[in-house]
Structure 1
């Protein structure tokens, strides 16, 4: 077998999960400042579903085949020139940067060394693949909202990848956490540390009360949730309504006139410092991986199908043999 080639998940047209297949592509080589990582696992993220379905084609274009995969865990196979912090064999996790696109669903990936962090000792590489997106929750609560002990936190989409991390961190930071999730997931989010768990399909936003911080991972009905903020409250979202993208993004832009009660939109773009913080939270017991199901690489389409069906508890993880 040609060792210059590797297995990767590809798709040749936009569509449903069945467009995904395991093909072969050239194995990358690390450039200056990059590391080559032998991937052990990655997780499935909502943004990948939208990209694969063609909802983001204005950004992703029409050149095929395309790749998937945003995050990863694995071992450093080779550090590139200029990299001194990592050596071959180091256990790492990371997220491809905004300019890198997708591509971690593969046997190997190259990534700037600043986008990679060391795994804590004893943390399983497959379980750990549920945690790189937790850096988004850390950024949201630590930097974007400055969550303080004693404040009331509402997490929307609390059973998902970012949401479950936000529930755990909110509790660890000393906030009073209310988690919105499906009825079938309420026990799950309570187990993560939520003080109150609410079925989002049976309670209207106006019935939830008032909050100091709202973290939204869904992207719809943003106006209704912004109205739940106390004076001086802060709201962030990591999503927008993909069925009404222009109206949703327009509202986010217009909300900037509302001062402290505006809705701040951001996407995760973690650096080494964020991964160091993530590792510290894990070591201190503030954050644990929540893995729903592990799929083999050849069944990545099934993982996408499962996430689209809803009801995930934590993350769907794909193991790379």
Structure 2
């Protein structure tokens, strides 16, 4: 009799990485318009850490078991009725939509067909799992900030998943790129293409505006937004992709108030990519503007260790989890 279950990473209570375990759950079937993907790999993202710890339980709720995993790469295993744009066997990448929550840390995942894109042939699927979140960097710099050649770009969190992509894309778009990271990662940030790499622990924001202001600030941390907003020159734009989870109301309130007060509006958004954006991502890779940065690859059974490593800080690019099937 065919086994209709699969492995998935679960947790039955909020807490540290130790609450994660690999269990078995029913294998999903694609609904109309959906695609069943056999997952090859996924990356670990900061939002999952917050969900697992219970810091955003107002969003995730308290029903258990809960799942982790936001992005993924893999092969199309089956198509639901009416699903178009991909075929069985295609190598794809994607990000679960806002309404879907988490769940890609598993052997299979279902996703609407329009939330998938084809992975470039030259990319290994495990390494490619570092890149779906780079759609956030594309949106932030190209669409929200409208970054132009010759402008000065400051990337906060330049060694992380989105930040490392933003450094590469900023350079490709013709900007003068300054990346903030911890001291141990400065050479890595320079190797990505940053013109300047600065230790955020020793150089305060007020000193970053020398020799001049920035045209665009990309913030991946969400804390201290006021200080970084002051670094913008006339016509400057600040894009934030995170907010302070210790003071969410105040953080989001400040972002909203920036639309009408002071210099430089703070543009905030949460990534929710669709096929056209994944096509753009593939194009950036094919044209040589972007490459995956994988710090370390973990097996599925060590997902908790991958969470622990991300919480410890200092990641260079992404921690990727490989899903093997016997």
* TM-based fold match above 0.5: yes
**Contact map agreement 2:232 2:264 (CA 8 A) in 1:** yes
TM alignment of 1:218-229, pairs within 5 A: 218-229=221-232
C-alpha distance in structure 1 between counterparts of 2:112 and 2:57, whole Å: 26
Residue 261 of structure 2 corresponds to 258
Q: CA deviation at 1:84?
A: 2.9
On the 8 A contact 2:232/2:263 being kept in 1, the answer is no
Matched, 1:125 2:112: no
Q: Which residue of 1 aligns with 2:147?
A: 147
Deviations 1:260-298 (A, max 9, x none): 611111110001000000000000000000000000000
Q: How does 1:3-82 map to 2 (within 5 A)?
A: 3-82=3-82
2:296 maps to 1:293: yes
- Structure 2 gap segments, 5+ residues each: none
Give the deviation of 1:79 after TM superposition.
1.2
Contact 1:234/1:260 (8 A) holds in 2: no
For 1:75 and 1:213, how far apart are their aligned partners in 2?
37
Query: Quick check: 165-174 or 1-10, which moved more?
Result: 1-10
- For 2:101, the equivalent position in structure 1 comes to 101
Q: Which residue of 1 aligns with 2:167?
A: 167
| 1:258 Cα deviation from its structure 2 partner | 3.0
- Quote the Cα distance in structure 1 between the aligned partners of 2:177 and 2:103: 35
Encode CA deviations 1:207-260: one digit per residue, 9 max, x unaligned: 011100000000000000000001000001111111111211121122121376
Distance in 2 (alpha carbons) for counterparts of 1:196 and 1:226? 19
TM-score, normalising length: structure 2: 0.97
Give structure 1 regions of 4+ aligned residues with deviation exceeding 4 angstroms: none
Q: What residue in structure 2 maps to residue 205 of structure 1?
A: 205
- 1:76–1:87 contact (8 Å) kept in structure 2: yes
- Partner of 1:196 in structure 2? 196
- Paired with 1:99 and 1:309, the residues of 2 have a C-alpha distance of 29
Equivalent position to 1:241, from 244, 252, 256: 244
Q: Unmatched 5+ residue regions in structure 1?
A: none
Aligned with residue 307 of structure 1, among 300, 310, 314: 310
CA contact (8 A) 2:44 2:319 kept: yes
1:278 is aligned to 2:251: no
Relative to structure 2, which stretch is displaced further, 250-259 or 174-183? 250-259
Q: CA RMSD in A?
A: 0.9
How far apart in 1 are the matches of 2:85 and 2:309?
38
Partner-residue secondary structure (3-state), 2:159: coil
Tell me the residue number matched to 1:89.
89
Alignment: residue pair count = 321
